[in-house]
Amino acid sequence: MRTLVKNIKEIVQVEATPALRVMGKDMARLNTVKDAYLVVEDGRFSAFGPMAELAEQRFDKEIDAGGGMVFPSFCDSHTHLVYAGSREIEYCDKIRGLSYEEIAKRGGGILNSAKRVQEATEQQLYDDAMGRLKQMIAFGSGAVEIKSGYGMTVEAEMKMLRVIRRLRETSPLTIKSTLLGAHGVPMEYRGRQGDFVDLVVREMIPQAAAEGLADFIDVFCDQGFFTVEETDRMLEAGAKYGMRSKIHANELAYSGGIQCAVRHNALSCDHLEYTGDAEIEALLGSETMPTVLPGAAFFLGMVHAPVRKMMDAGLGVAMASDCNPGSSPSTNMQLILSMACINYRMLPEEAINAVTINSAYAMGVSRELGSVAVGKRANFYITKPIPSYEYMPYAYGENKVARTFLGGVEV
């Protein structure tokens, strides 16, 4: 099956020789083809170029982009998309002045969501998450990493992971799954946190591995949550079962989480509000993708990760939605793109790299996704008529996506 997409105003983020990630000054580079055509064959990009160079030939199907632009779908490399209920009451508590940590200490926050997930059926969790996945697709996402972490018991964590597996089997999105057994300490383990870490190491990790439920392992390694030593133990245990690490680090303090991620050759370390010279030094030369979550920083009113400084030092940066009920209840990666530019002073080119190729790297799919390149899976969207690619982050809040294609099929 060969499909031609014609009359494209501009194809954005094309690669002749695909790179797995972009770093430093290269983040400001973005290749495009103007007045273009694109060919998709059996679900993959097979050719693209200027319309003027399109040779006469037969296609099984033709799609007229109507002067819209084509972008590779966003890769959303950090989400907690499976959850039950919502937390708008805590949102009001935050507005009144309570901090994220204070809410967590009194059993709100992650524990609040855990209670609801424990009570929910697998079907309810699946239906709610599928609804959110559909929103994501409509906003232009084509791949998503989803974490457990609201289970807190072995049983509920496995329930979450099974929901993620079912989503993967039934949704056209590319989905990666992460075991986040250590997201918070359940009330009954307060004062004996080590026992909970034992539970993660001895039961959650082996069980998730036995059922083949997790690609990655994550830990909330931060002040007031899990220590570096505890994180070391859990990441090592995960690695034994082939789970690469991707951790929450340095959101609340200079907690040593970034250095810990690098030591474990983590695929990514995420949040990073507290990143100083030592953290940047540790990341340089590593395979770990620093991933910033602008939605959470915005929603919690936090300091912003020093993204400019990180890029100037030569690092790559990825960005993701962190979609979750507590710190970033949004599935919209276009908003993340806008926040990247305004709150982190990224140029549109840098921001687009952060939410496509680099976030693809951060979830281990950049050989397959994250750019328009011959041979890659044809996950892309056609925009409404827009004047330039800079308009994507500029016109924040409106949905600029007109049509979406995953594996070459319109969804």
CB of 47 vs Fe ion, minimal distance in Å: 38
Task: Annotate each residue in 133-172 with x if it binds ligand NIG (CB under 6 A) or - if it does not, as one string.
Answer: ----------------------------------------
How do beta strands 244-249 and 268-271 pair?
parallel
CB 350 within 8 A of CB 340: yes
Run of H or E including 406: strand 401-406
In whole angstroms, give the CA distance from residue 195 to residue 305.
Answer: 33
- The residue (of 82 and 382) whose beta carbon lies closer to Fe ion is 82
CB of 348 vs ligand NIG, minimal distance in Å: 25
In whole angstroms, give the CA distance from residue 266 to residue 202.
Answer: 21
Size, binding site for ligand NIG by CB under 6 A = 13
Q: Is 108 in the site for ligand NIG (CB under 6 A)?
A: no
φ, ψ dihedrals at 46, nearest 5°: -120, -20
Indicate which single residue of 171, 327, 356, 359 sits in contact with ligand NIG (rule: CB under 6 A): 327
- Residue 292, beta-bridge partner list: 319
Size, binding site for Fe ion by CB under 5 A = 1
- Residue 249, beta-bridge partner list: 221, 271
Q: Is 113 in the site for ligand NIG (CB under 6 A)?
A: yes
In whole angstroms, give the CA distance from residue 410 to residue 368.
Answer: 18
CB of 104 vs Fe ion, minimal distance in Å: 13
Q: Is 84 in the site for ligand NIG (CB under 6 A)?
A: no
Q: Per CB under 6 A, which of residues 295..314 are in contact with ligand NIG?
A: 296
Q: In a 3-state reduction of DSSP, which class is residue 256? A: coil
Q: What are the tokens at 409?
A: 């099929």
* Part of the chain binding ligand NIG (CB under 6 A), chosen from 118-126, 153-161, 320-328, 399-407: 320-328
- The residue (of 322 and 350) whose beta carbon lies closer to ligand NIG is 322
**Closest residue to bound Fe ion by CB:** 322
How buried is residue 60: exposed, middle or buried, by Cβ count under 10 Å (0-12/13-18/19+)?
exposed
- The residue (of 246 and 264) whose beta carbon lies closer to Fe ion is 246
Q: Is 376 in the site for ligand NIG (CB under 6 A)?
A: no
203: DSSP letter: I
CB of 15 vs ligand NIG, minimal distance in Å: 30
Q: Is 325 in the site for ligand NIG (CB under 6 A)?
A: yes
Place of tokens 């040593």: 256
Q: Is 109 in the site for ligand NIG (CB under 6 A)?
A: yes
Q: What are the tokens at 287?
A: 């395979």
HEC string for 124-192: HHHHHHHHHHHHHHHCCEEEEEEECCCCCCHHHHHHHHHHHHHHHHHCCCEEEEEEEEECCCCHHHCCC
CB of 147 vs ligand NIG, minimal distance in Å: 8
Task: Annotate each residue in 289-328 with x if it binds Fe ion (CB under 5 A) or - if it does not, as one string.
Answer: ---------------------------------x------
Buried b / exposed e across 339-358, counting CB within 10 Å, b at 16+? bbbeebebbbbbbbbbbbbb
**Closest residue to bound ligand NIG by CB:** 326
Q: Is 251 in the site for ligand NIG (CB under 6 A)?
A: yes
CB of 77 vs ligand NIG, minimal distance in Å: 12
CB 143 within 8 A of CB 177: no
CB of 116 vs ligand NIG, minimal distance in Å: 11
**In the complex, which residues of this chain contact ligand NIG (CB under 6 A)?**
80, 109-110, 113, 220, 248, 251, 296, 322, 324-327
**In the complex, which residues of this chain contact Fe ion (CB under 5 A)?**
322
